[in-house]
Structure 1
Amino acid sequence: MEHEGETALDFPREWIEFADPADPAHLIRADLTWLLSRWTCVFGSACRGIIAGREEEGCCSHGAFFTDADDVKRVKAAVKRLDKDTWQHHVRGFEKWTELDELHDEKPARRTAIQHGPDGEEGPCVFLNDADFAGGGGCALHAQALRDGVHPLTYKPDVCWQLPIRRDQNWVKRPDDTKILVSVIGEFDRRGWGAGGHELHWWCTSSPDAHVGAEPMYVSYAPELTALVGEQAYTKLAEVCADRDKRGLVAEHPATVEARRRTPLKLIARPANLDS
């Protein structure tokens, strides 16, 4: 299925794999084409949003499902730091800013709640402040992290800070009967959302409009990648990426190629306070 203005989902990619220096039983398999792309978050600027007519919401048009108890605990602590001046839709109580919904397996799962208009219409995530909110637009949790001098991944739900990186982990039994944990780091494209992903109004990873970063993604997303694979594994990954980038031996992401063709001098840094 093709989406206007976006590159195809299937194209030649280059991968690398190596053992985690901190744990020989942990193998990292990484998509160099994705990590060396110039993708960057364009929330608040070129982002078209996942729902037509609601571009200002970016990818915050739905609540974020929690991954585990640690995810919930971290966000709970962050919410306590918000008040009416920093959170437009301020409420107190876990049951008020979360709700149950069905995940892919159709089992009830908890997520951040969504806003509801006066006529009952569904809005975006309850933590999304309007652009003209006096306390600042964008994710209230993200903004609070910046005010507190910490990285936003320490306050936001896992799915929010990990996107658009996809990490899959599986224990694999080798022919010699040893077991290793394989962490696959790649692009969270439309298909990552399941069949419904193809119905999204727009998705940034395939759009040249979002491949305008001033530096490769493995650099701009260093904190997130470190949290996903560990410090020593990220250091090794960064070394590999830098070496391959220097030598120009990586199959480039077509969206990055198209972005460079359109505007070769238009490179932007990752936004500090408008990330979704």
Structure 2
Amino acid sequence: MTESPLDAPRAWAELTDPADPAQRLRLDLTWLTSRWRCIYGAGCHGIEAGEPDAGCCTLGAHLTDDDDHARVAAVAGRLGPDGWQLVDEARDEGWLAEDEDGERVTRVVDGACIFLNRPGFPAGPGCALHQHALAEGLAPHTTKPDVCWQVPLRRGYRDVERADGTSYLEITIGEYDRRAWGPGGHDLDWWCTGSPEAHTAGEPVYVSQRAELVELVGQEAYDALARLCEEHLAAVDALRESGRRHLPLLVHPATAAASPGQEVGES
């Protein structure tokens, strides 16, 4: 299936952060109510052609700050050979590296992140940090690098100056599309957020990614976000039942392509 256009119309909502009046949230309702899901091991093509088992782990994960590094280091220290295929490699050479800009990244070994367990490993393929979280009953965002657990969500910040001289911090929550990878994102052989193949979840993103969203914006803001998403979906359902034409921004194009039932009929 063809990936949806990067600049497809979107429905956005803005509101003041309930926990901090100096902040406003800008929310991509089209994305948050989409039916995306991670299909690693269930149809994922991988970002490099012919490497589906590497998923999006072909590149090393950038660590955002000291807290990010400390969290991953603590989990890495608890992992053993039964849960981490390349643990000996990590103990001999380390799991951390620096990119060309001097930023900390997880090492790439044999074409993928050092934390990626390959096919044939007894514990199964996939991220050792993620698998450890599931085995211990933890939320994956408590064990993985920020950039890894935040996908498919993208959080952005912008200082906004009003005409009256006041200002606020705008926090945007949207889709981690190809552009979020930087200029190289356009060269990925496949990316899931725009692919109808990955829009087959039984529940919308704002529900499936609840823990991650709460971590990103806080509980009060998440509650407000969820209410807006529910109202958005109710409006879509009402249009669908009436058979009236809808604006294309109401339903994510990949979700609509994956399930005709998600489309709103035309009059």
Q: TM-score, normalised by structure 1?
A: 0.86
Equivalent position SS for 1:204 = coil
- CA distance in structure 1 between the partners assigned to 2:122 and 2:21 by the alignment: 50
Q: Report the equivalent of 1:114.
A: 108
**Sequence identity (%):** 50
Runs of 4 or more off by more than 4 Å in structure 1? Answer: 92-95
Unaligned ranges ≥5, structure 1: 117-122, 266-276
Equivalent position SS for 1:146 = helix
- Structure having the larger proportion of residues in helix: 2
CA shift for structure 1 position 176: 2.9
| CA deviations over 1:204-257 (Å, ceiling 9, x no partner) | 011100000100111000111111111100010001101110121761111100
CA RMSD of the aligned region, Å? 1.7
CA shift for structure 1 position 34: 0.5
Report if the CA contact (8 A) 1:86-1:136 is conserved.
no
Report if the CA contact (8 A) 1:28-1:182 is conserved.
yes
Q: Report the equivalent of 1:268.
A: none
Q: Report the equivalent of 2:95.
A: 97
Equivalent position SS for 1:205 = coil
- CA distance in structure 2 between the partners assigned to 1:82 and 1:214 by the alignment: 33
Question: After superposition, where does 1:185-264 map in structure 2 within 5 Å?
Answer: 185-248=173-236, 251-261=250-260
CA 1:200–1:26 in structure 2 vs 1: closer, same or farther (change >3 Å)?
Answer: same
- AA matched with 1:17: E
- AA matched with 1:142: H
Question: After superposition, where does 1:1-276 map in structure 2 within 5 Å?
Answer: 5-91=2-88, 92=90, 96-102=94-100, 107-116=101-110, 123-248=111-236, 251-261=250-260
- CA distance in structure 2 between the partners assigned to 1:35 and 1:220 by the alignment: 10
- CA distance in structure 1 between the partners assigned to 2:91 and 2:64 by the alignment: 20
Q: TM-score, normalised by structure 2?
A: 0.89
Unaligned ranges ≥5, structure 2: 240-248, 263-267
CA shift for structure 1 position 158: 0.3
- CA distance in structure 1 between the partners assigned to 2:42 and 2:133 by the alignment: 21
Equivalent position SS for 1:228 = helix
Equivalent position SS for 1:70 = helix
